[in-house]
Structure 1
Amino acid sequence: MAREAHPKTLFHLVPTNQVAHDALLHPDNKHRVSSSNIGPGLEVGYHVPSTPRGHVITRLGRDADLILRESTREHPVSAIHVAFEINPATHLVLLSVRSKRISSVTFAVLEDPNTDESTGENITGEKITGDGVILYGQDYKISIASYDFQLIWRTISETGNAKSLKALTVQGYETSLQLLQDVRSRDRPTENDNSEAQSWHITRLNTTKGPIFQDIEHLRVRIGRGAYGTVYEAVDRTSGYKFAIKVVDLSGQDDVEAARAILHREIKVMQRVKHEHIIEYLGHQLFHTLYPEILMPLRSGSLTSLAKSPPPDIDYEQLCFMALGQMLSALDYLASENLIHRDVKPDNILYSLLNGRYLFQLADFGLAHHRSLATTFCGTGYYQAPELWPFISGVNAGQSPKLDIWSLLACIVAVRSRLKEFPPDTTDYGVVLPALRAKIPAVSRLEPMARLHPDRRASAAQMLVLLFDGEGLTTPKSKIPAIEPDVPAAEPSSRPQTRNDRGKAPQRPTAAARPLIVYPPRAPGNPLARLPPPIPNRGGNLAQPAAAQLQPIRAHRDGVVKRQAKSRAHGANTLDRTSPEQNPPAPIGPPSVQEPPVLKGPRETLRRIPGSYVD
């Protein structure tokens, strides 16, 4: 008769075929055989290995903690074929295949008419090949090469057995870690430097085109709900890690295909962007159903939840400044990719605490657009930029990455007040805009972000240079212009806005153009007559000739005066008809000092000389 189970035993491997029965009789396994709920089996627990191995509970194979000696050509057994481990993050038990022949290991939930305690329902699952999660309190049937076992969890509590088993597992894990630290490095097994130190669920590669994670659906826990769907906390059935699933509900949409196209755009944007402060994309599934799913990393919460329950051990003002810098870095990256998020708000800024450092990430790209396509109305009212409300703000401008800058400013103002002073209790933008602008003096360093017109509003790159000395930049620092001082906004035009004006940026005022034609001055008495320059007569006096129609003088930027050329014949005829009176000889004596020299002859044939009159 088998002995009673060791107090640290987690579960038994009870044989169901002859090869597995023979494993119980192996000399190296006899001291690990004890009674389970259904019969004798091999014990699995942290007490089985002779040397502590941290997250590794027990190994099976030809040269392992539990010996599986039977190896054939059809069913070869590796030195270490499988290992039961604990996930350090979630504390779930994992079946890890160490053999290269992953298909040699399969397991499935053992059919049981009783209700499963851990989930409240009877679960029968499909056969899983290779690695996977072993749920606490759930029995399984397992095949390892030619060995067939039933995995039977030990009963240590009549109520809450699954929780008790998990507590025992975590206790064994922590003890193993402590013992591992006490072992001298020269006494550690060489394998610990390889597969034990870097477990498969940390180093495994994704070689499939499907999603990286596959969840255990009945373990989903709802953590959030919005207008477009529900977010769940899920557990990967292979690695035991937790992640998030966003289930989008398309059933209530008037145009399902249009909504599906928006979701497709979000997926494509998430696949494209790669940045530390933008949430990662892990995959999608069920896309062609009414409830498609997007897989993302699980984070601790959003900026909204952080503002409502701030950590007591950190400077809250410094935390807001940290979130500002990381989000500016994300927006600068999006701007460099010509992308506009268009829905920056506290709910879409997620955070996690890693090694004592807060990591903020921008999420939810359902409204993201390439800037050349961004024309539709978007965003959440409290955080929308003035250019989206031209009739209220008086700002007529197209959508650009500067739109996200205003939204981020509104987020920081809201979070600094812990969502109490802003946003207001109304969605009327005529109230929201003045309320936000009234808060700007309290955050004077952010004034460049608060300028109404996007042309004067600072970019993410400019703010990173101004406040963070360029840390987190994607845009080259040499290509970032300095922030210009703000100037009062121009008075809105009295001309009513037309359809063609919508979405267009107002034109900047330009200096008056230089005239292409310069005419001589007009006579005082007759505004239509033009005065030629005065000509001295024979007596040396300045005579004022009668008004004459002169050819316009064309101005030139280099100061040379040009006239319209006439035909050669016209010039010759004019020369012949010239009388001595019209061209008197030059007066005797030196010319007057005050007057420039006078050139004689037809004006068409004379060259321009600086300081002289042209007759």
Structure 2
Amino acid sequence: MSLYPNRHRLALFSLKPLNEQAKKVANHPYNQHLTSSLPDGTRVLDIGFQVRSRSNRTLATLGRGDADIFVDGPTIAKVQCSFEIEPATNVVMLYDRSHGQTTQVFGDDATPFEPGRLRQVVVQKGLNSFLGMGGRAQNTVQFEFLWYQDFPEMVGLIKDRESIMNDCEENPRLARTADDVETVLPSQMQTRIHTAGPRQLTMRYLKFGKLGSGQFAVVYKALDVDTGKFLAVKIIQRPEQASAQAAWEVSKYYALKREVEHLSRISHPHIVDFITSQGWEGPTAEIFMGLKDGTLESLVKGGVPDVESIAKRAFYQMLQALDCLAANGIVHRDVKPENILYTVLPGMQYHFQLGDFGLSNRAIVAKSSVGTPLYMAPEVYEHGVQTHKMDVWSLFVTFAWVSDFDGFRQNLHHFTSLPQAREAILAMASRIGAMQEMARVNPDERASAAQILVKVYNGEGLTTQLNRIPPLTPTVVETRPEPQLQPEPMHQVRHRPTQGMPKFPKPHTSQFRVRKSSNPRGRIWEPNTTAARPGGNLPPTRRRRHPSNVEFLQGFRMRPPLNY
């Protein structure tokens, strides 16, 4: 059973009066069509789709003039404030429309209007629970918010508002004229006279679910309460262990702050949008970036149809991102599907952005071997010179993983070493003609992102100037001559050379003795051990039974060629 059974079925929240001036507003005859009663008989103002305000984005306006809810009083503006829907996130925003800036929110959970900020703030269950307006103290009329849905349910209901707007009843005081007309006055920025100048404002946000975590940082989904935009906040917290203090300093001041520096000076449609950072001087630092729908890895693993078209779209957009980084002298050093974010656009079109710059560095000083091993270029784990072309290699491997070329994604479980995976990558490159230059082992011969954009996409999306892009190094196909097989002769005949050979003196016959051979036509010459010669007797040697050429070397048994 509902706690508020009498409320309008299209109301998102109600305003409960807290003082006498607010009760007069709830009981005013002009507002009777927007009121309902609580179980204790208190009259409340129902705010929702049934109000039918002037704009499709506006739920209701309050004021003593041409407003949806009439609020009487000398300190109330003609349009005092309004409740509007943020179109990108479908959250409810409170806008202060008064020239005297006399609208304010109160309570322990309040994020009040402050000097230097736009006069707008998110209102929802558990955030900014009390509303005041009018007078110097901004509390002449006071209301309390009564919400009928939790935040996720309310956002879903607002998202589907178009399907239920046809059942809304018209405001009897004001006929709706146009859906796209903005409210009367724009929100104003509160300023003070003789202030020193703009100051650094603290980002005010509300945390929701956890998106991921690392060694020193946790990433949350958050809501910027001043703009109504969803964002991702990376909270870096100092580790409690004293032994990790040194690693903390390195990680915090060299990696994470470097990420902030690189993102803050780059603006590109395919690089994640950096918002701001704060808290670097304290124990907790925060980095704020735009929130996306997911990662390329989760999109592929989720079984999205037509993976090939998604792979080509992501490939083209990431080439543009890498070309922008190269033009700014930055290497990402961790390009992979997990670090490519996407947003679903109308018509189921995907917009991809490169994120997670925690390992990025200036190309001129990048030396450490960091990254994900499968996607690392050969020069990284060989401690070579790191350039922007290392990201090109990583993008090629990413494309192979997403498109599952040659079953690459499935075969990852069978690779036992990085060299084996690299051989598979090189084999794929030889069969993908459009991008084979991206997977050359030598980074000097490897193509840059700009060169591939020129080759494949006629230079569309370039950041580098076209006249500064060198031509691609042609692919050299190494051909090895096939060995020629020579027919092997049946008998190898050795001929005694007649010229150019030294002549040896013919041995004296007294140094040899003749022994009868088993072959009656052959003779075997053996050293004559009894013949006296300088140096003593000749050493005994083995007899050779096979016919061969005569060798005139003293001290060996010789046999002249046989005459057959």
TM-score in terms of structure 2 length: 0.70
Any residues of structure 2 matched to 1:7-46 within 5 Å, and which? Answer: 7-37=9-39, 39-46=41-48
Q: CA–CA distance in 1 between the matches of 2:221 and 2:19?
A: 39
What SS does the aligned partner of 2:93 have? strand
| Cα offsets for 1:250-270 (capped at 9, x unmatched) | 415533222221211110100
Q: CA–CA distance in 2 between the matches of 1:161 and 1:385?
A: 48
Any residues of structure 2 matched to 1:299-378 within 5 Å, and which? Answer: 299-312=292-305, 315-356=306-347, 357-378=349-370
Match of 1:68? 71
1:24 CA drift (Å): 3.4
Q: CA–CA distance in 2 between the matches of 1:475 and 1:178?
A: 54
CA contact (8 A) 1:422 1:436 kept: no
1:409 CA drift (Å): 0.9
- Compared with structure 1, are the counterparts of its residues 91 and 36 closer, same or farther at alpha carbon in structure 2 (3 Å cutoff)? farther
In the alignment, is residue 405 of structure 1 matched against residue 392 of structure 2? yes
CA contact (8 A) 2:234 2:286 kept: yes
In the alignment, is residue 215 of structure 1 matched against residue 215 of structure 2? no
Match of 1:141? 130
One-letter amino acid of the counterpart of residue 337, structure 1:
N
Match of 1:280? 273
Q: CA–CA distance in 2 between the matches of 1:330 and 1:215?
A: 29
Q: Which runs of 5+ in 1 are unaligned?
A: 110-123, 391-395, 490-615
In the alignment, is residue 81 of structure 1 matched against residue 80 of structure 2? yes
Q: CA–CA distance in 2 between the matches of 1:397 and 1:459?
A: 17
What SS does the aligned partner of 1:245 have? strand
| Cα offsets for 1:217-249 (capped at 9, x unmatched) | 3xx201223445322111222333321112234
Aligned length: 448
In the alignment, is residue 382 of structure 1 matched against residue 374 of structure 2? yes
1:467 CA drift (Å): 0.9
Q: CA–CA distance in 2 between the matches of 1:419 and 1:228?
A: 33
From 229, 235, 238, the counterpart of 2:223: 235
| Cα offsets for 1:69-107 (capped at 9, x unmatched) | 212xxxx322111112233343332222222444x2222
In the alignment, is residue 462 of structure 1 matched against residue 438 of structure 2? no
Match of 1:125? 109
- Compared with structure 1, are the counterparts of its residues 91 and 298 closer, same or farther at alpha carbon in structure 2 (3 Å cutoff)? same
CA contact (8 A) 1:13 1:150 kept: yes
CA contact (8 A) 1:409 1:450 kept: yes
- Compared with structure 1, are the counterparts of its residues 235 and 105 closer, same or farther at alpha carbon in structure 2 (3 Å cutoff)? same
Match of 2:248? 256
1:445 CA drift (Å): 2.1
Q: CA–CA distance in 1 between the matches of 2:104 and 2:331?
A: 47
Q: CA–CA distance in 2 between the matches of 1:453 and 1:224?
A: 36
Match of 1:555? none
What SS does the aligned partner of 1:445 have? coil
| Cα offsets for 1:341-399 (capped at 9, x unmatched) | 11111111111111232111111112222221112222211111111233xxxxx8411
Q: CA–CA distance in 2 between the matches of 1:302 and 1:234?
A: 17
Q: CA–CA distance in 2 between the matches of 1:375 and 1:340?
A: 11
Q: CA–CA distance in 2 between the matches of 1:174 and 1:151?
A: 29
CA contact (8 A) 2:54 2:179 kept: no
One-letter amino acid of the counterpart of residue 14, structure 2:
H
Q: CA–CA distance in 1 between the matches of 2:332 and 2:280?
A: 22
| Cα offsets for 1:543-581 (capped at 9, x unmatched) | xxxxxxxxxxxxxxxxxxxxxxxxxxxxxxxxxxxxxxx
What SS does the aligned partner of 1:151 have? strand
Any residues of structure 2 matched to 1:591-606 within 5 Å, and which? Answer: none
One-letter amino acid of the counterpart of residue 390, structure 2:
L
1:66 CA drift (Å): 1.1
Q: CA–CA distance in 2 between the matches of 1:137 and 1:20?
A: 22
TM-score in terms of structure 1 length: 0.65
Q: CA–CA distance in 2 between the matches of 1:397 and 1:34?
A: 74
Q: CA–CA distance in 2 between the matches of 1:330 and 1:214?
A: 30
Match of 2:288? 295
Match of 1:593? none
1:144 CA drift (Å): 1.2
One-letter amino acid of the counterpart of residue 67, structure 1:
F
Quote the sequence identity (%).
30
